[in-house]
Structure formats: C-alpha cells, structure tokens
Structure 1
Amino acid sequence: MPIFIVVYIIFFLINYLLKQTSIIEDNLRDITIKKLEKDLLYANLKLAYERVEAMTALKERNRIARDIHDTVGHTLTTVLIQLEASKRLINKDTDTALEKLGLAQSQVRKGLNNIRNSVRVLESGNDILDFYSEIHSIIKETEKHSEVVIKSQIDENISFEKSQEKVILSAFLEGLTNGMKHGKSSAFLLKIYEKNENIFFSLEDNGIGSDIITPGFGLRAMRDRILELNGNIHVSSKANEGFGLYISFPKYMDVKEVNYE
C-alpha cells in the first residue's frame, strides 16, 4: 500500500506538471502571437505613414505641374491677345500698339517668374508637404489601422519652422506608438496652440501610466533635438492616469529646460 501511494503521487505530480507545461506553452504561444500582431500593426502604421507621405508629395507635385501648365496657358493666351491687338493698331495708333507690346512683355516676364518659382520648389523638395495636412493624415491612418480614437484641437494659423515641424511630427508618432504599445492606450488628445508668446504641442493618452518614468532612447533623442531648437519638453505620468507629452517653443525667449515628473 505505501508503494502504491508513492507511485500514485508520482504519477499525479507528473500529470500535474504536464498540464502546467501545456498551459505555459499555450500562454507563451498566445503572447508570441499577440506580440507578432502588435509588431505587424506598428509595421503597417509605419508603412501607412510612408505611403501617406509619398502620396501627399506626389499629389503636391502634380498640383505644381498643373500650376505650371495653367500659368503657361494663361500667359500665352494673354500675350497672344496683346500681340494681336498691337498688330491691328501698329499702323493706326503706334503709341497704343507699343503699350500693348509692353504689356505682353510684362506678362511673359511674370509667367517666367512663376514657372521658375514652381521649378525651384520641385527641385529642392521644400514646401512639398504641408505640416497640418500630414498631422491630419497621421490621425486618419492611425485610427484606420488601429483601435484608437484621436481627438484634436489644432490652431492651424500657427507657423512653425521646418525644423520644429519635423520634431513635432516625430514626437507625435513616438507618442502614439509608445501609448499604444506600452501604455495600452485607446484614446489620445492632441493639442497645438499658442499662449503667452509660446507655441505648444501636447499629446495625452488614457493608458495605464506609471509613477516612474525612465526615458528611453526615443525620448532622450527627442529631448536633444528640442533643446537644440531652444525648446522645452515636459513629460508627466501617474499609474492608471495615462501619459502626457508636452513641447513648447518660445517665439522670442531663449528657453532651454527639460523637466520630468
């Protein structure tokens, strides 16, 4: 009987361990699948952002090409009208004919200047992407490819430097990605506004938050770029109260401050 009991206990423990191993394997498989799904989601988001950027650039280039076409067409039409008028008047009213030729010459110069400006934009690639259009595209694509809601309060009358726009776009993407991936956030609030001679960007989420903030590589790199532009970065978070990212650029003051709470 004692031997039987010992054997029974051994088999019971083996069976228990096998069940626990199976449960652990199932959990690991589920975690792996979820991680792969999340990685795929973020990869799809990045790809979507790149597609939006490329499509926006292509759309803007096509718009500039149409502008060039319209400028040439309008200029040539106006010049032809002036030339025809001067031909009719050359033997009747020389002064008026010369005035028409002068107007035609002026139109040609104006048209050439417009074309040169458009070509410069195409060659340099500057001003191809509109900052606020890209912000809205990111919001649209993120909501489309993930189960989050992004509310926004944006003053589109604010003008940023190109370097500031790049930092803000990078911060926006970093905040969204971290909020979804680490904070389990389902909702975000984006604000871009002006107050007290400063321009502000803020992104808040409803994620799990944390009482301790350990800046990673992305946040440290963001901080360095903002400091180079004389800006200010502030992050705030508490357990179960989400995460907030706040960036400001002074219009006139030289501010270099980093604050973590």
Structure 2
Amino acid sequence: MKPVEQLVQRWQQMIHYFGSGQRTLMLAAYAMISTALVEFILFHRQLPPERFYVVIVLLSVLLSLNAVWERLQQRWGNAIADRVFFSTSSIIFLAANYIGLDAGWTFLPFLLFVIASQAIVGLGVWRGLGVSLLLYLGWCGVLWLRGVPLIQIVVQAPSIALGLIFVLIFSIVAARLVEQTARAERLAAELQSVNVALAAAREREVELAAAEERVRLAREIHDGLGHHLTALNVQLQAAARLLNRDPERAAQALAICREEAQAALNEVRQSVAVMRNAPVNGRPLPEVIAKLVADFKRVSPLHVQFVVEGEIGELPLTVAMALYRAVQEGLTNAQKHGQGTTVTVRLIGEVGQVRLEVVNDGPPAPPVAETGFGLAGLRERAARLGGTLHAEPLPAGGFRLAMVVPHVQTEEKPYDPHSVGR
C-alpha cells in the first residue's frame, strides 16, 4: 500500500473512531486537561510543594480517567461506569480547585466546562444539567471555603456561569445531533437488512415460479405429448410384428403411427405457442395476456378474444403469475378438449380482488374430472394466495375456467383440497 493511501486510511479510521459524541468530547477533554496541567506547572510554582504536586497528581488522574472511560463502560456497563466516572471527576475537579486556588489567575475552573459537556452527552440532558449545576454550586462553595471575599465571588461567578451556559447549549445541540445520527444509522441498518430480506424473498419467489413452471411443463408433457408417444410406440411394435406376416395390417399400423406423430408434433407446437412467453416480470398483466392470446391465435383455428374490465393496477408477482398460468391452462384445454370455435378471456378488476374467466362455446360436457396436473396445479396456486378456482361446464354448453385472487398478496397458505370451492 502506498504511503498516501496509508495516510488516508489512518485518517478515515480516526474520523470513524471519533465519530461518536463521547469520543469527540474525550478528545476535547484531553486538550483541556492537558492545557490546565501545563498552565499549572508553568505558572503556579509559588505554591507549597504539598499543594503544587497534589494538584498535578489530581490532574494526571483526571486525564487517565478519561482515557479509560470507554474501557470501563465495556467492562462494567454504561450505568456503573458513568456513575464512577462522573463522581470521581467531580471530586477531582473540586479538590483541584480547592487545593490549587491561588491569588493569581488559574485555568482550573474551566475544567467545569469539560465535565458538564461530558455529563450532557453521557448521562442525558436533564441529568447532565443537574450534574453541571451541582458542580457550579460546588465551585462557588470552594471559593467561599478558601476565604475568597463574597464580592469577588459575585464578580467572578457570572463569567463562569455565562461560559457554562454556552457550553451546555452547545453540548445539548451536539447530544441531539449524536442521537439523530445514531438513529439514522440504526434506521439505515434496519432498512438495509429489510432490503436484503426483500431481495432474498424476491429471489425465492422467482425460483418458486420457475419450479412451478417446470412442474407445469412436466404435466403438459405427461397429459398430451406422453399420450401420443405411448400410442406411437404401441403401433410401431405392432407394425414390427406384422411386417412379414400381414403387410396390409402393418401398413395400417404405420399409417396410425404417422397420425400419432403428427398429433404429437401439433401438441408440441401448441404448447410452445402457449408457453413461449416469459413469465410475468414487471410488465402490466393485461399487456402480457394480450400477447399470449395473440400468439395462441396464430397457431390455433379457434377465435379468441380478450376483454379487460375494471381497473387492474399493479399486481404482486405471484398473483400475476397465477392469473397468467390460468389463461394458459384455459386456452390449452379449449384447444384440446373444448370442441368449440370461440374462446373469450376476461380479466376483471373488482374491489380487493381480480377475476379471470376463460370461456369456450363447445357442446355440453360432463363435470370435469381433475385427474390431470393442470387444473390441480392452478387450484393449489389459488389456494395458496387465498383465492379460488372453478372449472365447470356451463348449462347451455361450453366450459368456463374462473380464478379469483386477492388484489394484494396475502401470506401464502398451505393447500387444503377440502377447503377450496369446487
């Protein structure tokens, strides 16, 4: 690492370390206490040695106490460490002022500002104000105990009081700023964790949609293409057995094989036409269904019309996917089993829910038997979303597939076939 990069990294680490209000005040406390210590050593040597050196020891202890304050909080907890710190600092401040009081000017009273600021940030505004007031009154008491004339106390005390008021106001603002910064950082961390959870949920949702699509494709292959391929295999075996014994019947079997192969090819083309659209992903559902219907009409002789009624709005991905798959299933079943000429797809926006209907005009049909995978999968989708699916023949002829799901996605429920309307 280059020296400039090392310097920048150290500077960033220092800024991060002193980013909290307590650490910033510690830095200011080091400067103030060090200044008081140097000033006392340089300008108060006339004091008796027993007073001079005691004050130096007290200021050194106060400086050391600030250095270990954070470690005490980590070891004892904030409540106990703060109680020990402020009680000890207050005693040292009053003792140093009592012992070091001289006829000349001294920097010792200004240490009150440091302790008051630390009390505001460390103990809170009201408790900090209480500690500051007690220290100020204690300092005035020290002057009185040391025999300072009352008139001199009255003259000197207001200047310290004004300075203390300014420091307290500044400290309160700084404490509020620290609280706001900590709250903003906490909210940012919570927001980041929520975003991570949402991204993970979105990824799981997409994976679930892909898995369900694979299951649907397997069902389609099993129900449609598998049937034709099974029949084709049976006829090929029959043709192979009859080829030498009965060429005419073998030719008939081969003709059936060609028909089954063509039917299988048509099945594949129809399935691809219905399913080649990508799953719903950020596009309006009416637009996606309109494209699906248009693609289906190009490969199917059926006349298909798509109607949108009401306000659809933006739908959750799982809701839109369920409705999209219902359209696919309805079109595929109309092509395979409907025996009609017209299919109508309706997407209806209702209060709190969306309704989808796929209706064909085929001849009257018996009640649907859900032995295939398609309708069973749709019913499971609807049940998990808190909706319903109905697939039933119409009294006047034709068949209707209707799915109703809530407009806003609810917590997915486990599928219970006995609780879903038939």
Normalised TM-score (structure 2): 0.35
Aligned in 2, Cα 1:151/1:250: closer, same or farther, shift over 3 Å? same
1:47 aligns with 2:272: yes
Tell whether the 8 Å contact from 1:53 to 1:134 is kept in structure 2 after alignment: no
Deviations 1:104-150 (A, max 9, x none): xxxxxxxxxxxxxxxxxxxxxx52x4422221111111111110111
Tell whether the 8 Å contact from 2:275 to 2:328 is kept in structure 1 after alignment: no
Task: State the AA in 2 paired with 1:228.
Answer: R
Tell whether the 8 Å contact from 2:319 to 2:409 is kept in structure 1 after alignment: no
1:176 aligns with 2:347: no
Deviation at 1:37, TM superposition (A): 3.3
1:259 aligns with 2:421: yes
Tell whether the 8 Å contact from 2:310 to 2:349 is kept in structure 1 after alignment: no
Deviations 1:22-61 (A, max 9, x none): 69975x666654543343233223333555539xx9xxxx
Tell whether the 8 Å contact from 2:334 to 2:360 is kept in structure 1 after alignment: yes
Aligned in 2, Cα 1:252/1:187: closer, same or farther, shift over 3 Å? same
CA distance in 2, matches of 1:200, 1:238: 18
CA distance in 1, matches of 2:407, 2:356: 14
Task: State the AA in 1 paired with 2:380.
Answer: D
Deviations 1:191-239 (A, max 9, x none): 1112354321010112244223211221111101110000111121158
Tell whether the 8 Å contact from 1:185 to 1:206 is kept in structure 2 after alignment: yes
Aligned pair count reads: 168
Deviation at 1:172, TM superposition (A): 0.9
Secondary structure in structure 2 of the residue aligned to 1:152: strand
CA distance in 2, matches of 1:157, 1:178: 28
Identify which of 212, 224, 233 aligns with 2:389: 233
Identify which of 144, 147, 154 aligns with 2:301: 147
1:205 aligns with 2:360: yes
| Residue 247 (structure 1) aligns with | 403
Secondary structure in structure 2 of the residue aligned to 1:53: coil
Tell whether the 8 Å contact from 2:311 to 2:349 is kept in structure 1 after alignment: no
Deviation at 1:156, TM superposition (A): 7.3
Deviation at 1:155, TM superposition (A): 3.5
Aligned in 2, Cα 1:23/1:188: closer, same or farther, shift over 3 Å? farther
Structural mapping, 1:53-72, within 5 Å: 53=278
Deviation at 1:163, TM superposition (A): 0.3
Q: Which moved more, 1:41-50 or 1:141-150?
A: 41-50
Structural mapping, 1:107-126, within 5 Å: 126=281
Normalised TM-score (structure 1): 0.54
Deviation at 1:176, TM superposition (A): 0.9
Tell whether the 8 Å contact from 1:180 to 1:186 is kept in structure 2 after alignment: no
Task: State the AA in 1 paired with 2:400.
Answer: G
CA distance in 2, matches of 1:31, 1:182: 21
Task: State the AA in 2 paired with 1:207.
Answer: G
Q: Which has the higher contact order (CA 8 A, sep 6+)?
A: 1
| Residue 166 (structure 1) aligns with | 321
CA distance in 2, matches of 1:251, 1:220: 22
> Higher helix proportion, which one?
2
CA distance in 1, matches of 2:270, 2:310: 24
1:136 aligns with 2:290: yes
Deviations 1:151-172 (A, max 9, x none): 1211373032210111111111
Aligned in 2, Cα 1:49/1:251: closer, same or farther, shift over 3 Å? closer
**Structure 1: gaps (5+ residues):** 1-20, 58-125
Aligned in 2, Cα 1:46/1:237: closer, same or farther, shift over 3 Å? same
**Structure 2: gaps (5+ residues):** 1-246
Task: State the AA in 2 paired with 1:43.
Answer: V
